[in-house]
Amino acid sequence: MSNDDSKLSRRELLKAAGIAGVGLTVSGITEAHLIPENTESPQRPSKQPTMIGVKFEARDIVRIGIVGVGLRGTSVLKEFLATDKVAINAVCDVVKDKCVRAAQLVEKAGQKTPAVYADGDHDFERLSARDDLDFIYIATPWEWHVPQVLAALKNGKHTGTEVPAAYTLEDCWNIVNASEAARRHCLIMENCCYDDSETTVLNMVRAGLLGDLVHGECAYNHDLREILFENKDEGLWRRRHHTLRNSNLYPTHGLGPMAMYMDINRGDRFDHLVSMSSTHLGLESYRKDHVSAGDPKWKEIYKTGDYNTSIIKTAKGRTIMLQHNVSTPRPYDRINLIQGTKGIFRDYPPRIFIDGQQGGHNWTTLDKYKEQYESSLWKNQGELARKLGGHGGMDFLMCYRLVQCMREGLEPDIDVYDAAAWSVPGPLSQISVARGSVPVKFPDFTRGHWEQPRQASLS
């Protein structure tokens, strides 16, 4: 049994699945497994109001600290440096050279030299305690996201973590409680919510072009085999997760935009999921072809199925197919399919069908809808975003929009309830797969506020 599995005792698995007390057969699924009771959502501690609807305090300059300036942190640093009215006051990484490189980028952009924190795994705590930061952006390996979020919040800073925010049920609750207690926002920096297709389709959904939504499909299907086996960057930590968990390791790139289409936590919510993993052959096959005999990687035993497929049912009865595959050869695909009573959109490549359109039951392009429905973010900032280029421009727009919300004193587009709800399919799919694909209830991280409509963000 791996370290990670040992954290999920049989009792916890059953409790989280809402099926405590039910006798298990060795291989079978009983009737009770199929219809689990509600997963309990712990009561909100008293004097800890919700963060829903809480606006940032308006400010002229947004002062940012960055924890983790590896590939992603450096790339997002460049996006922040291209955004007006941002001051990068501190950077942190366990590798000092990476901090120095980041500090040089800040200086080159005409800002004063940021403070550097490179004194070991916990130096982020000193960065978090500074009194000249409004926001701490975290781009470290997954196991560090939650400790670093908690340190930021404890020190009164708003924070945004890379994806996924957390990968245990307990940690999803930990970030919710910490954000509520600190009265500071904890966002998930889900850049895919800001892509051109996703923001255009969001406007079309809101305008009713697709009718009432019934079903969505989304994914992170991305051949990462070469990256996973490198002796640097993500190769140093990400492959390890494939030895620990059989689940959807990276649910948010597809699910974030889907949640926005479906108003999750703003009128609907994820209710339960079932999940199934395929066998795992991809990393083994790649290792056979690319890793020399005697390399310590040959000692690793992978357990994440090449394909993990979950089906989520929402409280309003919609379904979402959510998939993860990073270990087989294939083109990139987040699917990004949304079906309503009047039409359907499907990405990769973008295409749409609206009921009654000319030309029979054939896809048409999104182009003719662009003029009317493209988001104002892309209309106004798209040229610069494309020039900067981070993931086609969506990375800049995510940073730009965050800074806009913080400067103008708006609510963030994405809050801690979204961070938890979009990340929690990680542990929930692990439970479902481990128990023979039983349904597993989602907690209600909003604790009763999910039906509350909110002012539309990102239009």
Closer to ligand NAD by Cβ: residue 194 or 270: 194
Closer to ligand NAD by Cβ: residue 162 or 268: 162
* Nearest to 345, CA basis, from 253, 215, 456, 222: 215
* Nearest to 342, CA basis, from 213, 210, 215: 210
Residues within the interface to ligand NAD (CB under 6 A): 67-73, 92-95, 98, 121, 124, 139-142, 144, 162-163, 191, 233-234, 236, 391
* Nearest to 272, CA basis, from 417, 142, 431, 144: 431
Rounded Cα gap, residues 261 and 255, in angstroms: 10
Provide the angle, in degrees to the nearest 10, between the axes of the packed helices 376-388 and 196-206. Answer: 170
Report, in Å, the least distance between residue 192 CB and ligand NAD.
7
Closer to ligand NAD by Cβ: residue 235 or 436: 235
Closer to ligand NAD by Cβ: residue 50 or 430: 430
Residue nearest to ligand NAD (CB): 70
Report, in Å, the least distance between residue 94 CB and ligand NAD.
4
Report, in Å, the least distance between residue 75 CB and ligand NAD.
8
**Amino acid letter, residue 434:** A
Closer to ligand NAD by Cβ: residue 123 or 451: 123
Is there a cis peptide before residue 427, judged by omega within 30 degrees of 0?
no
Report, in Å, the least distance between residue 11 CB and ligand NAD.
30
Closer to ligand NAD by Cβ: residue 373 or 422: 422
Report, in Å, the least distance between residue 69 CB and ligand NAD.
6
User: Is-contact 397 374, C-beta < 8 A?
Assistant: no
Report, in Å, the least distance between residue 100 CB and ligand NAD.
12
Provide the angle, in degrees to the nearest 10, between the axes of the packed helices 376-388 and 394-408. Answer: 130
Report, in Å, the least distance between residue 169 CB and ligand NAD.
19
The single-letter DSSP state of residue 362 is -
Report, in Å, the least distance between residue 257 CB and ligand NAD.
13
Closer to ligand NAD by Cβ: residue 166 or 264: 166
User: Is-contact 214 221, C-beta < 8 A?
Assistant: no
* Nearest to 254, CA basis, from 423, 373, 375: 423
**Residue 184: burial class (beta carbons within 10 Å; 0-12, 13-18, 19+):** buried
Residue-by-residue DSSP string for 156-223: T-EEEEPSSS-SSHHHHHHHHHHHHHHT--EEE--GGGGSHHHHHHHHHHHTTTT-SEEEEEEEEE--
Closer to ligand NAD by Cβ: residue 162 or 444: 162
